[in-house]
Amino acid sequence: MSEIEKQPGGVLFQRLALIGIGHIGSSLARAIKRQGNLVGHLAITDLDEAARARATELGLADSVHGETADAVVDADCVILCTPIGTYRAISKAMAPHLKPDCIVSDVGSVKRAPIRDMGPNLPDTVHFVPGHPIAGTEHSGPESGFAELFDGRYWLLTPPPGTDPEAIARLRQLYEAIGAIVEEMEADYHDKVLAVTSHVPHLIAYTIVGTAVDLEQQLQNDVIRFSAGGFRDFTRIAGSNPVMWRDIFLNNREAVLEILQRFTEDLTALQRAIRWGEGQTLQDLFTRTQAIRRGVVEARQEVPPSPDKRG
């Protein structure tokens, strides 16, 4: 990593603006505050008045703004922490107020679409470095965040070709300072990996919980009452923010549909094996999947974020 020139006062950024103060935004604010001298002034903004009031009560920032323009003015770093569907409007609204050399990033779970939606709206004088922390719980809102969320977690950056290396390095330093492991990758590849690790699993979880919603009432009551193991985990996943997830699926359509197609073929094969009593087919798959589990455990990604807010 290249040596970063510190700003006056020894901080990384004189003014950092967070747009959106939900689960990730408020965790990021807390993590930055925890580290002390990273940022001279932390400004936040949120469309939702209740969220702004809550953020003020919780003392999450140095200033809380109702207008995006007021938060980003004079900022040398702006990070979008809102659902992906808002990016186009936000980038248009803030563009005239961004100062030269400002670093603009985001935390969205899809990376190709933000580059498509925001890139053309941003002035050439700013540095656009899309990002995505592989962290989060199913909880929403400013009170659900915590400073330790990113500890030991990957934070992926997907800068378009030609992005200023100094801007990437500065953002990397911020995220490393709050405990994350930063990696760079190409946006399309990111979206494919996340379709497998996150987007399709969420869609499947939503679907099976939705299937349960349609059961007759008595059966549904007992499904809730006796939910354990599998279904309980699925309800946790399916308890996530609906708008955020809607936007993820709408914006990672191709990769999600491709993995979904493969999944459906594989499920059909298993369905057939169950129908015809082909035990060996089932046992073979169930044995092969154990190797993946071991890989995940060895990659130390099995540890839930701390403090454990997961149900």
Does 87 bind a copy of itself (CB under 8 A)? Our answer is no
Strands (E), the chain: 13-19, 39-45, 63-65, 77-80, 103-106, 127-128, 131-133, 154-157, 181-184
Residues 138-177 that bind a copy of itself (CB under 8 A): 138, 153-154, 156
Question: Does 89 participate in binding a copy of itself (rule CB under 8 A)?
Answer: no
Q: From CA 95, how far away is CA 126, in angstroms rounded?
A: 9
Classify 74 in phi/psi space as left (phi over 0), alpha (psi -120 to 50) or beta: left
Which of 53, 295, 306, 307 touches a copy of itself by CB under 8 A? 295
Kindly identify the residues of this chain, within the stretch 174-203, that bind a copy of itself according to CB under 8 A: 189, 192-194, 196-203
Q: What is the 3-state secondary structure (H, E, C) of 270-292?
A: HHHHHHCCCHHHHHHHHHHHHHH
Interface with a copy of itself (CB under 8 A), residue from 17, 28, 77, 205: 205
Asked if residue 23 lies in contact with residue 137, where contact means CB atoms within 8 angstroms, the answer is: yes
Query: Among 101, 286, 306, 307, which residue sits at the site for a copy of itself (rule: CB under 8 A)?
Result: 286
Residues 233-262 that bind a copy of itself (CB under 8 A): 233-240, 242-243, 245-247, 249-250, 253, 256-257, 259-260, 262
Residues ≥6 apart with Cβ < 8 Å to 96: 69
Q: Is 287 in the site for a copy of itself (CB under 8 A)?
A: yes
Among positions 222, 306, 307, 309, the unique one binding a copy of itself when judged by CB under 8 A = 222
If one asks whether residue 93 binds a copy of itself (CB under 8 A), the answer comes out as no
Would you count residue 71 as binding a copy of itself (CB under 8 A)?
A: no
Q: How far apart are the first and last CA of the chain?
A: 38
Q: How far apart are CA 308 and CA 153, in angstroms?
A: 14
Coil, strand or helix: which one is 232?
Answer: helix
Q: Candidates 22-30, 67-75, 165-173, 291-299: pick the segment binding a copy of itself (CB under 8 A).
A: 291-299
Shortest distance (Å) from residue 195 CB to a copy of itself: 10
